[in-house]
């Protein structure tokens, strides 16, 4: 059924690539008006032109910039009733070797970034009849894996942040997070381009394959429509059956 996002006005961070870009494509196809944010200006211009959407160069860690751009985007669209926090970074490094600067950057992008976006968008979201917030967390938020101390901490924080604001912002704003497993994006290219690593990763999940960005986009669509109208404050694993094992 097409048109599930007709008349919706949605901000998407991390829209220049990967999961954010695929979410933007799906939401556009479903009728949403979009404001696309990313620090990658080249990629952002490409997807904005493809979809006929507004693109805003923005680093989600820069609070002043976020406040200015979200206000501008909200005014241009005539409101905001949906937010997708898809901007994220990954550094897989054993803790002994983890650079404190990398820790700080992951916390800033993966955790403080969603905080900045929600804070900036809240005046618009609060005026909407039924607003939604979806944050892309990670299966690493649900279970520990080697070399992911910084990444897991940032994503677990993002998931708990989303759960907590669901309590504060209901009933008119719903907030949920998605916890992807290994999804084929540029961030995980090192893994899925290596047949041996890819096969090992696929064998660890019940569905015996790696995830596609479309898998995450469809989950984001579900959590941004009335199909999930009685769902808030939850984490949805999109991991092929990995985190429950």
- Which active-site residues does the annotation give? 151
Helix (H) or strand (E) holding 34: strand 33-38
CB–CB of 217/188 below 8 Å?
A: no
CB–CB of 25/5 below 8 Å?
A: no
d(CA 140, CA 87): 16
- Report CA dihedral (175, 180, 185, 186) to the nearest 10 degrees: 80
* Three-state SS at 235: strand
Beta strands per DSSP E along 80-208: 82-85, 131-136, 173-180
d(CA 7, CA 215): 24
CB–CB of 51/57 below 8 Å?
A: no
């Amino acid at each position: 059924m097409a048109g599930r996002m007709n008349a919706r006005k949605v901000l998407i961070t991390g829209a220049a690539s990967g999961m954010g870009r695929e979410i933007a494509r799906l939401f556009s196809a479903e009728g949403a008006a979009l404001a696309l944010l990313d620090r990658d200006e080249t990629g952002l211009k490409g997807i904005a032109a493809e979809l006929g959407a507004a693109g805003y160069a923005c680093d989600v860690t820069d609070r002043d910039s976020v406040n200015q751009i979200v206000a501008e985007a909200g005014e241009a669209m005539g409101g905001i009733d949906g937010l997708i926090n898809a901007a994220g970074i990954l550094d897989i490094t054993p803790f002994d070797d983890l650079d404190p600067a990398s820790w700080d950057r992951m916390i800033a992008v993966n955790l403080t970034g969603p905080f900045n976006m929600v804070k900036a968008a809240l005046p618009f979201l609060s005026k909407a009849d039924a607003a939604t917030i979806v944050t892309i967390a990670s299966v690493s938020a649900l279970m520990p894996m080697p070399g992911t101390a910084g990444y897991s901490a940032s994503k677990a924080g993002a998931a708990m942040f989303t759960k907590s604001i669901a309590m504060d912002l209901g009933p008119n704003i719903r907030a949920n997070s998605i916890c992807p497993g290994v999804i084929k994006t540029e961030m995980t290219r090192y893994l899925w381009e290596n047949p041996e690593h890819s096969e090992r990763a696929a064998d660890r999940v019940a569905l015996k394959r790696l995830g596609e960005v479309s898998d995450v986009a469809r989950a984001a669509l579900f959590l941004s429509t009335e199909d999930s109208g009685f769902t808030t404050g939850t984490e949805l694993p999109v991991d092929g059956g990995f985190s429950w094992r």
